[in-house]
A and B are shown apart, each in its own frame.
Chain A
Amino acid sequence: DGGITQSPKYLFRKEGQNVTLSCEQNLNHDAMYWYRQDPGQGLRLIYYSQIVNDFQKGDIAEGYSVSREKKESFPLTVTSAQKNPTAFYLCASSMRTGGVNIQYFGAGTRLSVL
């Protein structure tokens, strides 16, 4: 069954701690994305990757880091430099084409600070 799997569903971070959110896709998509969603707000782009071993900063990249070592995987690390990490994090993927880019989303990870 093809799709995007995010884990864990819930995550708690202690002060000064780095945490990593997992995102795996088996859709054979080239591009992958990370978004942050705060209550009552739309999705804001953190990082995106259009090909393995390459990624670009989105609109709110400060305090986050990513890697793209495999096509299927795009983990997001929330570092201690991110002072307000509590949010709903969404991973998406899309086929990299020259035209319109439909993004498909995982079920999300809710991160809270202890």
Chain B
Amino acid sequence: EDQVTQSPEALRLQEGESSSLNCSYTVSGLRGLFWYRQDPGKGPEFLFTLYSAGEEKEKERLKATLTKKESFLHITAPKPEDSATYLCAVQELGGAQKLVFGQGTRLTINP
């Protein structure tokens, strides 16, 4: 059974303090790994898709990387507006087009 585990559950940083969020996954074959951002009381907003080990994608202060067993979301010099819950999800090769989500990391950036 596909499994996705995110760590830490919550992370509190000072503005400008860089860090990384982790997403570990277990699938028989990976079609894609997705990162979403979710603000309180709102739907998730798509950030990145990664397809194969070694791939990296960047958007503003965020960079996502992928290995065969985990993905990292690196946040460089974060600002308070980066505070949100970050969700990781995987789609399995050959299966129905559905995503399996981790429980999320709640990130708080203090000014």
Binding site for B on A (CB under 8 A): 4, 6, 31, 33, 35, 40-45, 48, 50, 56, 58, 88, 90, 92, 94, 96, 99-108, 110
Contact = CB atoms under 8 A, between A and B. Distances in A.
Interface string B33-64: 01010000111111001010000000000000
26 contacts: A6-B43, A33-B98, A35-B101, A40-B9, A41-B104, A42-B89, A43-B87, A43-B89, A43-B99, A44-B101, A45-B98, A48-B96, A48-B98, A50-B96, A56-B96, A90-B43, A99-B31, A100-B31, A100-B32, A100-B91, A101-B31, A103-B46, A105-B44, A105-B45, A107-B43, A108-B42
Contacts of A56: 96
A100 B49 contact: yes
A105 B41 CA distance: 13
A42 B104 contact: yes
B42 A107 contact: yes
Interface string B67-109: 0000000000000000000010101000011110111100000
Nearest to A110: B41
Contacts of B44: 43, 90, 105
Contact of A42 (B41, B45, B102): B102
Given A41-B103, A42-B101, A104 B46 contact: yes
A105 B97 CA distance: 15
B43 A100 contact: no
Which of A48, A88, A94, A102 has the most C-beta atoms of chain B within 10 angstroms of its own C-beta?
A102
Contacts of B97: 31, 48, 50, 94, 96, 101
A100 B51 contact: yes
Contacts of A103: 34, 46, 99
B4 interface: yes
A42 B98 contact: no
A6 B102 CA distance: 23
B41 A108 contact: yes
Contacts of A50: 96-97
